[in-house]
Amino acid sequence: MPLRINAARLLSDLTHLSQIGAGQDGALWRVAGTKADRAGRDWLDKTMRVEGLHTRYDETGNVFSRREDTTGPWLLIGSHADTVPAGGHLDGAYGVIAAMEVLRTLHEADHPLADHVETVAWFDEEGVRPESAGGLVGSTALAGSAHVDDLVGYLEIHVEQGRRMEEGGLDLAPVTGIVGVRRYRVAVSGQENHAGTTMWADRQDAGRVAARVVAGLKDVILAVDPKGIGNAGVIGFGPGAANVVPGTASAELEVRASSDTALDDIETALEADLSRIAAEENCAAELVRVSAKPAAHFDRRVLGVVDEACRGRGRTDHLLSYAGHDASVISTRLPTAMMFVPSTGGFSHSHKEHTPDGQLVLGAQALLDAVLKAAPMLLARPGSSVALAA
């Protein structure tokens, strides 16, 4: 008889965690490092301290659970415990609780793989704190620690945070990789001038350059990569008066694509676009790359196992993740893959975050199925000291 997760416990634990750090509208305020975040992790710690399981904090703040007195190696499963300000109750938390449910199911069944599965609740994925340098703090710390050598792979389940699954009628989606993300600062320098007496031809309107680049961003990206995504979230003109032609302007652009090659091509196109527009407006401009997270491509064999697990449990299709996840960092050190469950309406980072209970249960079950297939495969790898039959 196939192993089944405890659906009632999964949903109950999710409800419990969603009450820690909740505001009146249900939005969650478990920003990494806050009291609420610590209370959430302490609750995870306490909840996993059952007979035969061992829980520990590492020095970064990640919370790990595994069977007592095991020596590994382990397949790591989990997600992050923190939220953005006014975040949702599923982003991160669902993957943590689902992983806990998988380990507890294996442990209670006394399945031989129970000794080779470890769960993690990552510290500070979101990167809200100024000192967290863009987030993924806990996974980055693990990737650079000795413990990574005790692990054979990593699996993470997460809510999609978009509408593709809902629109496509999908229950589960193996995630093939995570987009690379680059951020840029556009800095334009023109000539501040009287907005009435300076004729169009005499202007060096820095604001027009920034507005045209922002307005054109979508077309520039799509011309290079039909699956590319971008955003202009910040803009400003100086000196900022209705009757003064802007002498300076700035904007922040973000670009996401499935490969670093695509990101390079988009960057080249953006630079050309900015140069052309700046020349047309008699301004000087530069595109400064502020940050770059490389694209992640998940392990083909692990992805194959996840695909099999998903197909066995519902309607499924492969997706690329347009949001960053700890799996992206871990994939640089370990065979890694992810799976998504749908986000109703695509809402995320919001109290409107929602996934139907049935799909939450289906996802946790598929994660267990994937662990049951992936762990033996990964433990049997050359160089691994353990071999177990599926």
313-332: b (≥16 Cβ within 10 Å) or e? bbebeebbbbbbbbbbbbbe
Residue of 133, 215, 272, 288 that binds a copy of itself (CB under 8 A): 215
Smallest separation (angstroms) from a copy of itself to the CB of 302:
23
Residue 181's region, left for phi above 0, alpha for psi from -120 to 50, else beta, is beta
Residue 88 binds a copy of itself (CB under 8 A): no
CB of 324 or CB of 335, closer to a copy of itself: 324
Smallest separation (angstroms) from a copy of itself to the CB of 204:
12
Q: For residue 330, what are the contacts with CB-CB under 8 A and spacing of at least 6?
A: 76, 139, 142, 143, 154, 336
Residue 169 binds a copy of itself (CB under 8 A): no
CB of 41 or CB of 158, closer to a copy of itself: 158
Residue of 45, 252, 308, 317 that binds a copy of itself (CB under 8 A): 252
Residue 244 binds a copy of itself (CB under 8 A): yes
Residue 79 · residue 121 · CB < 8 Å: yes
Instruction: State which of positions 189-208 bind a copy of itself (CB under 8 A).
Output: 193-200, 202, 207-208
Q: Which two tokens stand for residue 41?
A: 């992790």
CB of 67 or CB of 203, closer to a copy of itself: 203
Residue with tokens 């000794």: 115
Q: Which stretch binds a copy of itself (CB under 8 A): 67-75, 245-253, 328-336, 376-384?
A: 245-253
CB of 150 or CB of 202, closer to a copy of itself: 202
CB of 65 or CB of 132, closer to a copy of itself: 132
Nearest alpha-carbon partner for 268 in 233, 321, 224, 326: 224
Residue 214 binds a copy of itself (CB under 8 A): yes
Q: Which stretch binds a copy of itself (CB under 8 A): 36-44, 52-60, 244-252, 382-390?
A: 244-252
Q: Which two tokens stand for residue 313?
A: 């449990």
Smallest separation (angstroms) from a copy of itself to the CB of 343:
8
Residue 83 binds a copy of itself (CB under 8 A): no
Instruction: State which of positions 262-281 bind a copy of itself (CB under 8 A).
Output: none
3 state DSSP class of 70: coil
Residue 254 binds a copy of itself (CB under 8 A): yes
Our measurement of the distance from residue 378's CA atom to the centroid of its chain's CA atoms, rounded to an integer in Å, reads: 24
Dist CA 137 CA 127 (whole Å):
7
Residue 189 · residue 371 · CB < 8 Å: no
Smallest separation (angstroms) from a copy of itself to the CB of 258:
12
- The full DSSP string for 323-377 is S--HHHHHTTTS-EEEEEE--GGG--SSTT----HHHHHHHHHHHHHHHHHHHHH
Residue 357 · residue 10 · CB < 8 Å: no
Residue 155 · residue 219 · CB < 8 Å: no
Smallest separation (angstroms) from a copy of itself to the CB of 330:
19
Q: Which stretch binds a copy of itself (CB under 8 A): 22-30, 54-62, 158-166, 259-267?
A: 158-166
How many CB atoms neighbour CB 280 within 10 A? Answer: 11
Smallest separation (angstroms) from a copy of itself to the CB of 348:
5
Separation in Å, CA 70 to CA 116, 154, 155, 179, 275: 8, 18, 20, 36, 60
Size of the site for a copy of itself (CB under 8 A): 56
Residue of 39, 133, 234, 390 that binds a copy of itself (CB under 8 A): 234
Residue of 212, 270, 274, 338 that binds a copy of itself (CB under 8 A): 212
Residue 13 binds a copy of itself (CB under 8 A): no
Residue 123 · residue 145 · CB < 8 Å: no
Residue of 27, 232, 287, 295 that binds a copy of itself (CB under 8 A): 232
Q: Which stretch binds a copy of itself (CB under 8 A): 24-32, 100-108, 224-232, 377-385?
A: 224-232
**Interacting residues with a copy of itself (CB under 8 A):** 160-164, 179, 181, 183, 193-200, 202, 207-208, 210-212, 214-216, 218, 222, 229-237, 239-246, 252-254, 256, 321-324, 343, 346, 348-349
